């Protein structure tokens, strides 16, 4: 590449150069940011760049990124959420739509060279090009995740994605926010080529000058995207209805309507657009996005990176912690009393690797990183050691004392305890300040939150390194103080207790669960108790009651079921029968007025209490922890945000 085509003073975020073959290379390198996002200024500069090329048309245009962090992460969410009026929001949508329509209409061939994340507006930019080359490396992901923020892909995504990959695949991606990697993008037709990094520039040059026609969908996909749109749309609405109520999550329903009736152009239905962008759900889901980013920030400090992990305890929790770490590239040694106890964890891990990685070579590599270690030799070499044995203070004391004697001095020593206090566990250590809690939730591969627990006097470096490890395995670290139940279990206990008291009063379990599912919970509290295990719910209730200085009698219905050995899903029967693997539920009947508010009230009160006591630093982190640790209805913005909105009279969709 040799010469600047556009006065650089006119461009703060784009660089435009033309190479010897007459190909213009437009590189997006947003000023002052570590990742590319599409702001008003970035879009306006792209529009000026296209105006310049109108006067001097190149042989072709290749759009690429100047950031090591990826292609484009989407629209600038901060700028979008700061828009003060429906007119301003509509103007921002119109700007992106019009610029990308203009890019799609230029007479010369265009190509997006995608390396790293290509999300939201970034994918809409790439799809406005005639061709796309995907670079085959782990960070390359394509997605339209706007629905997760309660909004929609307004810059052409709802029009172009169905035309490229067919409406069924496109709607699945848009309605779930699910991403695809480079190889799958090529298989679907979203990318024209999938190439190694070393050949990406040559591949882009060759394709953009090839004269190859843009990909055309197969005949059946064209029918589904045309005359049979109504059939696809109705099927999509039924699928969405199984997961999301329109009063809670209106965006997916709007996406289907925009595609079906307006060819994906939100500007053609301004009243629908205004309803989506102006409602509480969108504001609250954007709030949740920012809460998630704040949690991610706890793992970014310092240079700590674990190469080796040692886990003691190959039960469901310990085995799955080991598997997730191995999946993320860490060498893991897994210790238990003998190989027969470790074998089920290895078998579970293999299924997880096959499900997530799909490639046989990658699965083999992950299996090679997960090493059975009945003798515990790996503890001496590990950067992080986690004990995940049963909840018994004496047993944990003996283990922790033994581990400390063998570990590297700088290694992180952690416990996965859910009910014992760090202060009680560390009394046997020579360096008690080094022990931290790293508390995972079941099922470990699915649950994003991990509580990182510190007691008074905990070593600051050990705590920061624990947070960094959690972030390294793609979980969300939540700093909490040592206290019974920490945050998540402490707020769930009174909520589940209240639900069982309702059952004691004669309200059917199905009715209790239906009330909270209508509130927006992913699972009702009675089914949740069955899933966790009624014996665990009983033990946790006793521990938390003792820790709080109380003597709370367990609900009669819970005590009777535990005494009878009906422990929930794991025993096949609890409040529900799990013979089929799923709870057999009868009809919910009429839900009494105010039941949901009665059930959620103890959870809200306990969350506020834990903030007041400093167990979690502030209300934002408490909301984040309860959302990502329990699934508390994200569209509410979190329990304390919901309580504040309701107190102010601004929350109207719950009874």
HSE, side-chain direction, 13 A CA sphere, residue 27: 17
Classify strands 110-114 and 131-135 as parallel, antiparallel or unpaired: parallel
In which residue are the tokens 């090591």 written? 68
Specify the DSSP element, H or E, that contains 79: helix 77-81
Burial of 188 (0-12, 13-18, 19+ CB in 10 A): middle
52 is catalytic: no
Strand partners, 335: 312
Q: Which residues contact 336 (CB under 8 A, 6 or more apart)?
A: 312, 313, 314, 318, 342, 374
| Cα atoms in the 13 Å half-sphere on the side-chain side of 185 | 34
**CA atoms 51, 55, 61, 64: torsion sign:** negative
Strands of the sheet containing 131-135, edge to edge, are: 3-4, 14-18, 23-28, 60-65, 110-114, 131-135, 193-195
Contact 66, 29 (CB under 8 A): yes
* Cα–Cα distance measured from residue 498 to residue 631, given in angstroms and rounded to the nearest whole number: 18
Tokens of 77: 């969410």
Which ranges in 120-197 belong to alpha helices (H)?
Answer: 121-127, 157-165, 167-176, 182-188
Which run of H or E residues covers position 437? strand 435-439
Burial 76-88 (b: 16+ CB within 10 A, else e): bbeebbebeeeee
Which of the residues 13, 117, 310, 439 is marked catalytic? 439
- Tell me if 626 sits within 8 A of 476, measured CB to CB: no
Contact 416, 438 (CB under 8 A): yes
The two three-digit tokens of residue 152, written as one number: 């929609």
State how beta strands 23-28 and 14-18 pair. antiparallel
Distance CA 50, CA 55 (A): 9
Q: Is the peptide bond before 490 cis (omega within 30 degrees of 0)?
A: no
Q: Residue 427 gets which letter from DSSP?
A: G
The two three-digit tokens of residue 213, written as one number: 């026609």
- Output DSSP code: residue 634: G
Q: Which two tokens stand for residue 513?
A: 């669960």
- Produce one character per residue of 495-516: b if its CB has 16 or more CB atoms within 10 Å, e if not: bbbbbbbbbeeebbbbbbbbbb
| DSSP β-ladder status, 3-4 and 14-18 | antiparallel
Closest CA to 537 of 489, 586, 607, 503: 489
User: CB-based contacts of 73: which residues, under 8 Å, 6+ apart?
Assistant: 35, 36, 37, 117, 119, 120, 122
Write out the catalytic residue numbers.
Answer: 439
């Amino acid at each position: 590449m040799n010469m600047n085509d556009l006065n650089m003073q006119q461009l703060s975020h784009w660089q435009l150069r033309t190479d010897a073959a007459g190909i213009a290379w437009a590189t997006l390198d947003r000023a002052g940011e570590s990742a590319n996002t599409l702001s008003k200024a970035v879009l306006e500069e792209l529009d000026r760049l296209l105006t310049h090329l109108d006067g001097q048309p190149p042989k072709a245009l290749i759009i690429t990124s100047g950031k090591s962090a990826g292609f484009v992460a989407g629209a600038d969410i901060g700028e979008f959420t700061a828009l003060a009026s429906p007119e301003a929001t509509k103007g921002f949508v119109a700007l992106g739509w019009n610029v990308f329509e203009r890019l799609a209409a230029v007479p010369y061939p265009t190509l997006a060279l995608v390396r790293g994340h290509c999300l939201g507006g970034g994918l809409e930019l790439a799809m406005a090009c005639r061709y796309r080359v995907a670079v085959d490396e782990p960070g390359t992901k394509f997605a339209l995740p706007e629905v997760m923020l309660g909004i929609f892909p307004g810059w052409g995504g709802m029009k172009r994605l169905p035309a490229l990959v067919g409406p069924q695949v496109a709607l699945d991606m848009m309605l779930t926010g699910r991403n695809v990697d480079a190889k799958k993008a090529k298989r679907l037709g979203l990318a024209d080529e999938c190439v190694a990094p070393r050949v990406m520039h040559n591949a882009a040059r060759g394709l953009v000058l090839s004269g190859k026609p843009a990909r055309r969908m197969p005949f059946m996909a064209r029918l589904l995207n045309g005359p049979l749109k109504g059939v696809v749309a109705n099927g999509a609405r039924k699928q969405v209805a199984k997961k999301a109520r329109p009063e809670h999550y209106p965006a997916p329903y709007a996406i289907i309507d925009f595609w079906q009736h307006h060819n994906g152009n939100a500007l053609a239905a301004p009243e629908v657009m205004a309803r989506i962008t102006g409602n509480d759900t969108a504001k609250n889901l954007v709030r949740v996005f920012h809460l998630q980013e704040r949690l991610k920030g706890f793992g970014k400090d310092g240079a700590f990176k674990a190469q080796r992990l040692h886990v003691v305890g190959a039960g469901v929790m310990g085995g799955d912690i080991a598997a997730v770490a191995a999946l993320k590239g860490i060498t893991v040694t897994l210790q238990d009393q003998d190989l027969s106890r470790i074998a089920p964890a290895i078998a579970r891990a293999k299924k997880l690797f096959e499900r997530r990685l799909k490639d046989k070579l990658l699965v083999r590599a992950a299996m090679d990183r997960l090493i059975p270690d009945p003798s515990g030799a790996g503890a001496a070499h590990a950067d992080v050691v986690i004990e995940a044995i049963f909840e018994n203070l004496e047993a944990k004391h003996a283990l922790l004392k033994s581990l400390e004697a063998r570990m590297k001095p700088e290694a992180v020593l952690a416990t996965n305890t859910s009910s014992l206090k760090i202060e009680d566990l560390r009394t046997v250590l020579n360096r008690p300040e080094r022990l931290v809690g790293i508390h995972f939730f079941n099922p470990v591969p699915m649950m994003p939150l991990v509580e990182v627990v510190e007691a008074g006097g905990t070593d600051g470096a050990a705590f920061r390194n624990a947070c960094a490890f959690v972030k390294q395995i793609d979980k969300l670290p939540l700093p909490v103080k040592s206290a019974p139940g920490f945050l998540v279990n402490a707020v769930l206990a009174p909520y589940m207790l209240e639900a069982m008291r309702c059952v004691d009063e004669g309200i059917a379990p199905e009715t209790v669960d239906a009330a909270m599912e209508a509130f927006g919970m992913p699972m009702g509290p009675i089914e949740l108790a069955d899933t966790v295990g009624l014996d665990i719910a009983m033990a946790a209730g006793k521990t938390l009651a003792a820790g709080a200085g109380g003597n709370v009698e367990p609900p009669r219905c819970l005590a009777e079921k535990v005494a009878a050995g009906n422990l929930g899903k794991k025993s096949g029967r609890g409040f529900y029968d799990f013979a089929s693997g799923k709870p057999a539920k009868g009809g919910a009947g009429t839900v009494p007025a105010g039941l949901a508010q009665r059930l959620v009230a103890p959870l809200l009160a306990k969350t506020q209490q834990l903030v007041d006591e400093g167990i979690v630093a502030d209300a934002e982190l408490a909301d984040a922890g309860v959302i990502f640790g329990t699934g508390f209805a994200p569209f509410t913005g979190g329990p304390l945000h919901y309580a504040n909105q309701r107190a102010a009279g601004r929350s109207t969709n719950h009874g």
